[in-house]
Structure 1
Amino acid sequence: MRVTLVHPAGFNFVPGQPDFSVLANRMPPIGIMQLASWLEKHGHPTELHDCLGPYAPPGIAANAEIVLASRPDLVGISATTSSFMDGVDLAAFIKRKRPEIRIVFGAVHVSSIGAPILEHFPEIDYLCIGEGEGCLLDLANGKALAEIDNLVFRNGDGQVVCNPRRHRILNLDELPFPAYEKLAGFPHGYHLPLFAYEKRHGATMITSRGCPYTCSFCDRTVFERLYKTNSAQYTYEHMKYLRDRFGVRHINFYDDLFTAHRKRVTELCEMLIEQPLGMNFNCAIRTGHTSDEMLAMLKKAGALMVSMGIESADPGMMERHKAGVTLPEVKKTVERIHAAGLRAKGLFIFGLPGETPETLRHTSDFILSLDLDEMNMTKFSPMYGAPIWDECVSGKEGDFIEDWRLMNCLNFVFKPHGFSSREEMDALYNWHVKRYYDSRGYRHRFAKRLWQHRWSLWHVVRHLPETVAAARYFSANKEELELARREFVRHPRQPVGLQPFLSPELKADAIAAMSPIRISRRPARPATEPDACCTPQALGSTMPWTV
């Protein structure tokens, strides 16, 4: 079967306006690249189309025509929440031109909502819930729909049927490397975030699936609880392949937590030290769970920068949304990172429930005190599968605009009660970003690294006309853009009020994550001789967790 996999564009800062963000960062769609290599391995010719790629035209119709030109029997669209309606518009165009083409949607948005998606969008034939390799291969092989686990489809009567979840892939080393060669413009047309690398070209890798932690704001509906990794040998060979075939010299590892499996990371570092590839890499660590020895080994193996999720500097906010991380641990971890000769990047979220102008100012002060080499502050956007979803949509903690196209962490769709308006939030956000990048510490570090940043600076110079055009566009149209942002109308076909589709395990995790007291998800061990007053029966409790 001929398959074409598509990465829809979605929206940027101001929906409907030119997307200049790709000038600073354009990353390959690893998910569909991985699926493409899997399908090719099993004999199904597969094409890729990235609607955000360097050669992609603007507009739904033009991109849909490119997909149609590949003559697919099956089209797979991998969409986030913010790009989902773009994917729907693509699917509708394709169906009008060639109704016999089957269309399947996958990734986090459909995995977190499930069956109601098919009830609202007739142009979508199937949903792939969770991990995609097995489900897509069964579809391509022509297996009976009722026998394909992870599939949601309509039966002969038009009723939506949800098949069971399938077992996860336990050995990720069985997967071929992603199909980088099928991506038009890779690697020269794709680039990592500016000033986050010293060597070119760059690429991204994901060497694990899942995360061993449960943060309040994170959606885990695709991989659920199970955390699996590629081996150190596989990861080393993957890096070598990118270097030898494509000339890649820097890797950004986008695992949720790269260093969670310490033995694996140690083995990989030892390989990179004993058999150097001449490559640098960036990765994520967890505050308080990284030793001096690990940091020194990462540096020796080629690590340039490590990032850590901090989210907020308000102790109450941290306890609520990032349990297990404390401010003293954060400070100590940054000091240890710098002592190892690595760059430190902090990741923060602005606008979570409970946020106020005071907590944001406190966080801003803390960020400047850390002497971070880089920081990223995203605008909080609730996700359907995250433990905090119900709290956000209830109205108890703030005002939520359920517009999928705006839910991209670049717009304040959620306004906590502590703020008078979204304009106030935008003003505080802009104040902090300007404050950080204008700070003496950041300017001093940047000036010292001008030569190290030569490829980023060269990228800016090469795209100077587009950069100047972007600056002029936003400067000349400031009032119109603000009006467009305030009066942006939700897509006429987007439903609201859909409920997350969570497994019993993820529901349990959500309760544990949002509980004001610490709850373990491990089954309680019965006492040998329980006191009558403390037995579950006496307490009237059937909760399957221990406190």
Structure 2
Amino acid sequence: MNRGKKSDRYKRILLVQFPSDRCTSMRPPPGIGYLAATLKSAGIEYDILDMTFPDCEFEDLKNKIREFKPDLIGISFFTLMYKRHYQWIKELKNMGMDFRVICGGPHASSVKEDVMKDCDEIDYCCVNEGEETLLELCRGKPVSEIKGLIHRECGKIIYNGDRDFIKDLDNLPKPTFEKFELGKYIQKEIPLVTSRGCPFRCIFCSVRLVMGRGFRARTPKNVVDEIEYWVKRGYKQFAIVDDNFTLIGERVFEICNEIDRREIGYLEFRLNNGVRADRLTKDMLIRMRDVGFRFIQIAVEGGNNKVLKSLHKDETIETIETAMKMACESGAEVYANWVVGAPDETWEDVKDSLRIANRSCAFKTDFLNLIPTPNTELFEWVEKNNYFVVQPEVYLNDPSYFYRKPVFETPIFSIEDRLRVQKVHKLINRKLMRKMVHRKLRLYGKLVAMVGSMIVASDIFQYVFYNNRDFRRSVDLVRSTIQVREDKKRRKVSV
């Protein structure tokens, strides 16, 4: 890319990640990480403010603006808490400083022009991938010619049309997170985006609205180059945040082989976003485990084929259970998640899910309320049938609904039954966690295993684990030590 030019429309860009109140600051956000890398490569001056840190207040954003004096502020945010985000933007524009605002991220890509209809203070909106759109806007390309951009002209809101998705992801500058406060994140972990897009059609998923259904992947060499970059800087833990990492099995093997070839050393990979069971094989799981894939989340979603079909999962419960078993046997720590409230789902169907969870080998399970987000098939179905018990503008601006509060019900699955699911699941999850922790700690004696399993499964431990940086990093260090011992034992057995 070319260096910064005097003719650029915007020369000082402040990139901001708004908090959704759903997630704590676990790791740096890869989305604005890629935007920052793009601006840096182009020689455009930029700064960063990640507001997901609990101690970051709105006043900190205003102070950053006064200090940096940007001429363009790029804001990324999710749909959750969008009304608060709009209010913040209005207050920023009242500061009396001369800057423009461009918004992007999942919410902007999902509702498009509605963002600018609802908030007059937003000057531009970026739909889908933002690297090329933001760069063209900064460089001074005529606004009306920039694909993927929504803008205002003569009092009208104009969308220039979809931009083609980036096919060659290797050409994108890799995030280096130089201006991020890496030491403040809860985990000493780097997010990796090795692919974009998902070809499947789950009714609750908004990925197709944001990244499209076309699967695009980085080459194994390019992926491992990024891993090696961070290993040289003291990082060994990585979260692969792809929407469908295992879609192409051959590519997974090639990435593993490239990691092995370079002899990088001890690594930990987490598949946090959930992978499809029908894309896992025994050989793949073993190979992944050999190079450091120690945590795998499997997106189960439903407890029988009827529910899976209604969710358009395009896989069977038999395949899912087999994959969970294979993943556990590979030595990985398996997490499994279900969603509650699929069309045609009943309490009897959920009992199938609970039975599978109860007999599974998973370290942890989760049962999540289905939350209809705008323009997904689920949202349209609930709205069409008038099943909302809480209106979207309410639940999408109250983070408590994203945990355990149902927002719609059907004639065959009441709110009361949905709430009952959470109570039963909590008991199952605690039992599973105790069992798996006990198994891991047996190496240190029966008493340690018994006491340790009770502590880890407690609510207070889980809360601190997910919200306190120092505690989380200490526990991760202990887990890594146990994993190394388990690896040595497993290798001896295999020999």
Q: TM (normalized to structure 2)?
A: 0.82
**Which residue of the partner structure matches residue 161 of structure 2?**
164
Cα pair 1:35 1:133 within 8 Å, conserved: yes
Letter in 2 for 1:57: C
Q: Does residue 1:32 correspond to 2:32, yes or no?
A: yes
In structure 2, how many angstroms separate the alpha carbons of the residues matched to 1:83 and 1:341? Answer: 39
- Gaps spanning 5+ residues in structure 1: where? 13-20, 193-200, 468-547
Q: Could you say what secondary structure the match of 1:341 adopts?
A: coil
1:428 to 401, 417, 421: 421
Q: Is the 8 A contact 1:399 1:416 kept in 2?
A: no
Count residues with an aligned counterpart.
437
The change in CA–CA distance for 1:75 and 1:348 in structure 2 (over 3 A counts) is same
The amino acid that maps onto 1:447 is H
Specify the alignment match of 2:406 in structure 1: 412
Task: From the superposition, tell whether residues 206 and 314 of structure 1 become closer, same or farther in structure 2 (CA, over 3 Å).
Answer: same
Give the corresponding residue for 2:326.
336
Distance 1:378 1:65, change over 3 A: farther
Q: Residues 406 and 317 (structure 1 numbering): CA distance in 2 closer, same or farther, change over 3 Å?
A: farther
- Alignment match, 2:475: none
In structure 2, the CA distance between the partners of 1:189 and 1:376, relative to structure 1 (3 Å rule), is farther
Q: What does 1:320-331 align with in structure 2 at a 5 Å threshold?
A: 320-331=310-321
Report the secondary structure of 1:346's partner residue.
strand
Q: Report the Cα offset of residue 73 of structure 1.
A: 0.7
1:449 pairs with 2:440: yes
Q: Tell me, what secondary structure is at the counterpart of 2:86? A: helix
Secondary structure of 1:393's counterpart equals: helix
1:80 partnered with 2:78: yes
- Going from structure 1 to structure 2, the CA distance change for 1:159 and 1:387 (only over 3 Å counts) comes to same
Choose which of 7, 15, 18 in structure 2 pairs with 1:8: 18
Matched, 1:307 2:317: no
Quickly say closer, same or farther: Cα 1:358–1:98, change in 2 above 3 A: farther
Q: Which residue identity lines up with residue 262 of structure 1 in the other structure?
A: G
Whether the 8 Å contact between 1:149 and 1:163 is mirrored in structure 2 is yes
Distance 1:226 1:386, change over 3 A: same
Q: CA distance change for structure 1 residues 226 and 462 in 2, over 3 Å: closer, same or farther?
A: closer
* Deviation, structure 1 residue 222: 1.8
Letter in structure 1 aligned against 2:133: C
SS at match of 2:200: coil
> 1:307·1:345 contact (CA, 8 Å) conserved in 2?
yes
Aligned-partner Cα distance in 2 for 1:298–1:382 = 34
- Distance in 2 (CA, whole Å) between partners of 1:314 and 1:297 is 29
1:317 is matched with 307
RMSD (Å) for aligned C-alpha atoms:
2.7
Q: Deviations over 1:50-88 (max 9, x none)?
A: 11126x433x34433334432111011111110322321
- Paired letter, 1:121: C
Q: 2:179 is matched with which residue?
A: 182
- CA distance 1:430–1:69, change in 2 (3 Å): farther
TM-aligned CA deviation for residue 177 of structure 1:
1.5
CA distance in 1, matches of 2:64, 2:369: 33
* Larger RCO (CA within 8 A; separation ≥ 6): 1
SS at match of 1:3: strand
* TM-score, normalised by the number of residues in structure 1: 0.74
Equivalent residue of 2:299, what SS? strand
Asked if structure 2 preserves the Cα contact closer than 8 Å seen for 1:287 and 1:329, the reply is yes
Q: For the residues of structure 2 that align with 1:314 and 1:416, how far apart are their CA atoms?
A: 19
- Normalized per residue, the structure richer in helix is 2
For 2:4, the equivalent position in structure 1 comes to none
Task: Give me the whole-angstrom Cα distance separating, in 1, the residues matched to 2:175 and 2:419.
Answer: 38
Q: Is contact 2:345–2:412 with CA below 8 Å preserved after alignment?
A: yes
Structure 1 residues 251 and 134: alpha-carbon distance in aligned structure 2, compared to 1, 3 A threshold: same
SS in 2 for 1:191: coil
1:167 Cα offset (Å):
1.8
Q: Which residue identity is paired with 1:238?
A: E
Alpha carbons 2:76, 2:103 under 8 Å: kept: yes
**Aligned twin of 1:250:** 237
**CA–CA distance in structure 2, aligned partners of residues 154 and 303 of structure 1:** 47
Counterpart-to-counterpart distance in 1, 2:76 and 2:309: 34
Query: Contact (CA 8 Å) 1:2, 1:46: kept in 2 or not?
Result: yes
Tell me, yes or no, if the aligned pair for 2:144 and 2:160 is still in contact at 8 Å.
yes
Q: 1:335 to 1:57 in 2, by over 3 A?
A: closer
Residue 131 to residue 269, structure 1, CA distance change in 2 (3 Å): same
In structure 2, the residue matched to 1:222 is 210
Asked if structure 2 preserves the Cα contact closer than 8 Å seen for 1:406 and 1:413, the reply is no
The one-letter code of the counterpart of 1:265 is: V
Instruction: For residues 329-351 of structure 1, give each alpha carbon's deviation from its aligned partner in whole angstroms, at most 9, with x where no partner exists.
Output: 11211221122222222121122
The 1:416–1:46 alpha-carbon spacing in structure 2 relative to 1, beyond 3 Å, is farther
CA distance in 1, matches of 2:419, 2:72: 42
Q: Is the 8 A contact 2:285 2:330 kept in 1?
A: yes
8 Å Cα contact 2:304-2:316 kept in structure 1: no
**Cα distance 1:339–1:420, how it changes in 2: closer, same or farther (>3 A)?**
closer
1:121-520 correspondence to structure 2 within 5 Å: 121-155=119-153, 157-184=154-181, 186=182, 188-192=183-187, 201-219=188-206, 220-245=208-233, 247-277=234-264, 278-283=266-271, 284-403=274-393, 404-406=396-398, 409-410=402-403, 411-421=405-415, 425-437=418-430, 439=431, 441-450=432-441
Structure 2 CA distance, aligned partners of 1:343 and 1:244?
Answer: 26
Amino acid of the residue matched to residue 426 of structure 2? V
Deviation of the 1:126 alpha carbon? 0.7
Matches of 1:78 and 1:462, distance apart in 2: 27
Q: For structure 2, which runs of at least 5 residues remain unmatched after alignment?
A: 1-10, 469-495
> Is this contact kept in 1: 2:388–2:407, CA < 8 A?
no
User: How far 1:45 sits from its partner (Å)?
Assistant: 1.2
Question: Counterparts of 2:376 and 2:202 in 1: how far apart (Å)?
Answer: 8
- Give the direction of change, closer, same or farther, for the CA distance of 1:256–1:463 in structure 2 (3 Å limit): closer
Aligned residue identity for 1:110: A
**Which residue matches 2:485?**
none
Is the contact between residue 366 and residue 429 of structure 2 (CA under 8 Å) also seen in structure 1? no
Distance, in Å, in 1 between the alignment partners of 2:338 and 2:102 is 34
Question: How far does residue 226 in structure 1 lie from its aligned partner after superposition?
Answer: 1.9
Distance in 2, matches of 1:427 and 1:65, equals: 46
Once the two structures are superposed, residues 139-159 of structure 1 have per-residue CA deviations (whole angstroms, 9 ceiling, x without a partner) of 11122211111111111x211
User: Which 10-residue stretch deviates more, 410-419 or 319-328?
Assistant: 410-419
Q: CA deviation at 1:396?
A: 4.7
The Cα shift of 1:398 comes to: 5.0
Q: Distance in 2 between matches of 1:273 and 1:30?
A: 25
- Choose the corresponding residue for 1:98, options 96, 99, 118: 96
Residues 80-107 of structure 1 deviation map (CA, whole Å, 9 limit, x = unaligned): 1103223212211210003521001111
Distance 2:327 2:337 in 1: 15
SS of 2:161's partner is: coil
